Amino acid sequence: MVCFIGRSNVGKSSLIKALFSLAPEVEVRVSKTPGHTKKMNFFKVGKYFTLVDMPGYGYRAPEDFVDMVETYLKERKNLLRTFLLVDSVAGIQKADNIAIEMCEEFALPYVMVLTKIDKSSTGHLLKQVLEIQKFVATKTQGCFPQLFPVSAVTYSGIHLLRCFIATITGNLKTN
Ligand code: GDP
């Protein structure tokens, strides 16, 4: 099981859609957790793995987020990796920091995905990547050192992210 978290509007649903649209052969079943206004979606990907889409967080959402997501992340023993989405145009925001601190506190293995890379110039993107890379190297313990820059519009980086997910969930065919 892997999960995706990120603040509202970071491009999470677009990314999940892009990841799945490149794999039309797998059957994806969506189940929603009832009774939550800010819902969690579970995508069961064939017999391979489950992807959990966590509710987005933002300026007003940290409390909801803390209540529900924290509990989930803390108690899930079969959570292989958490994908934390950061907007590549805006960089790491205050709300992102809350999620980063949470991952660190619970010692979750997590990966940073930079979204919407088609929106900035190469120069701006490079600057953001270098800054975030430095942040990851100096300020985090549990974050994977390699960032995954992606675009749900151009599909740039989507294949690499898929391969990474396949590897960590043990679904990469090597024959
Ligand atoms: P969510 O709230 O995190 O699920 O965000 P959405 O996936 O709904 O995306 C928020 C907005 O950003 C929408 O207007 C999307 O069209 C836009 N968006 C998402 N991904 C990309 C991307 O890779 N490139 C660009 N240019 N826009 C994107």
Kindly report the CATH number assigned to the domain that includes residue 121.
Answer: 3.40.50.300
Residue 10 near ligand 1, beta carbon < 6 Å: yes
pLDDT tens across 24-71, in order? 666 666 666 554 446 778 888 877 888 888 877 775 555 666 677 777
**Domain-located, residue 128:** yes
Q: Which residue owns the Cα nearest ligand 1 atom 15?
A: 11
Question: How many structural domains compose the chain?
Answer: 1
> What is the amino acid identity at position 132?
I
At 175, list the tokens: 């024959």
pLDDT tens across 4-13, in order? 999 888 999 8
Residue 88 near ligand 1, beta carbon < 6 Å: no
For ligand 1, pick from 14, 84, 96 the residue to mutate: most ligand atoms within 8 Å of CB: 14
**Domain-located, residue 45:** yes
**Domain-located, residue 9:** yes
- Taking the C-alpha atoms of residue 74 and residue 173, their distance in angstroms, rounded to an integer, is 31
Q: What is the pLDDT of residue 121?
A: 95
Burial label, 148 (beta-carbon count in 10 A; 0-12, 13-18, 19+): buried
CA of 35 to the centre of ligand 1 (A): 26
**Domain-located, residue 47:** yes
**Domain-located, residue 42:** yes
Q: Where are the alpha helices (DSSP H) in 6-118?
A: 12-21, 62-65, 71-75, 94-105
**Domain-located, residue 150:** yes
Write down the mean pLDDT value for the chain.
86
**Domain-located, residue 43:** yes
% residues pLDDT > 90 (the chain): 55
- Determine if the pTM surpasses 0.85: yes
Range of the domain at 159: 2-27+38-169
**Domain-located, residue 32:** no
Mean pLDDT of 99-121: 94
Residue 5 near ligand 1, beta carbon < 6 Å: no
CA of 151 to the centre of ligand 1 (A): 9
